[in-house]
Amino acid sequence: MGQRKFWARIAGYGGVVLLLSCGGTQAGQAGPIDVCNCTPTAPASEDFRHDEKHVPLPAIPSQDITVQTMLGWPQTPVPAPNAPRTGRELQLFHIGHAFVQRTYEVESDCDIHAEISDVADPAAPRAIVEIPSDAEYCSARQSFQSELAAHKITLGTLPELGDVSPPLPIDVVGLAFQDDPHATRGSAQVKTIWELHPAVVNITQ
């Protein structure tokens, strides 16, 4: 409980502000979606460590890393479904240069899922970063969607239509998070269960 109060007191990162309640898209939507009006198709109780993923970004200094850094983080035993954040998961990280290879809104929890790599090669190993559906991330979600649209990329809810071609350069700030190694985490190029989640993602070109 003390840790939850700690996160509740921390201000969000940068320009992430409270605008709208994010929380509904039609199943398998290929066209533009309202990223601040999404209703999850699954209850929060079915989401692995749901409460630990849905926290504000802390107002603490970030550490510069790369996707390769994340790929090298060791996989420890899978945390319990309700395990609090510990160790690396309490640290804020910044990836100043990477490429988004695939992105879409996950229908089960409404988080925006992005697979990123250090280089633009679509075969390069990837890690996952996610922008949560929480209200304080609404403006960040809208900004990311608009930046994609400027490059004629439509953010939808179908993973198979989420490939970004050519991959776009991005900047990411987020908290490390060890996910459950379930089979549907992403494409075959995703090579680590470590994520940045929650995260804020900006296209830099």
Q: Could you tell me what percent of the chain has a pLDDT over 90?
A: 79
| Distance separating alpha carbons of residues 65 and 62, to the nearest angstrom | 9
Cis peptide before 56 (omega within 30 of 0): no
Calculate mean pLDDT across residues 138-148: 98
Q: Please say if the pLDDT value at position 4 is more than 90.
A: no
List the single range of 17-31, 88-102, 127-141, 162-176 with lowest mean pLDDT: 17-31
Q: Please say if the pLDDT value at position 179 is more than 50.
A: yes
- Contact yes or no for 147/203 (Cβ under 8 A): yes
List the single range of 7-21, 67-81, 138-152 with lowest mean pLDDT: 7-21
Phi, psi of 73 (to 5 degrees): -65, 130
Calculate mean pLDDT across residues 176-193: 90
| Distance separating alpha carbons of residues 136 and 169, to the nearest angstrom | 24
| Distance separating alpha carbons of residues 203 and 93, to the nearest angstrom | 17
**Which pLDDT score, from 0 to 100, does residue 181 have?**
84
Q: What is the pTM of this model?
A: 0.86
Q: What residue type is 30 in one-letter code?
A: A
Q: What residue type is 137 in one-letter code?
A: Y
Q: Please say if the pLDDT value at position 150 is more than 60.
A: yes
**Which pLDDT score, from 0 to 100, does residue 47 have?**
92
**Each residue's pLDDT tens digit, 110-135:** 999 999 999 999 999 999 999 999 99
Q: 151 vs 25, which has greater pLDDT? A: 151
> How buried is residue 123: exposed, middle or buried, by Cβ count under 10 Å (0-12/13-18/19+)?
exposed
- Cα separations in angstroms, 113 against 3, 13, 61, 91: 26, 19, 24, 20
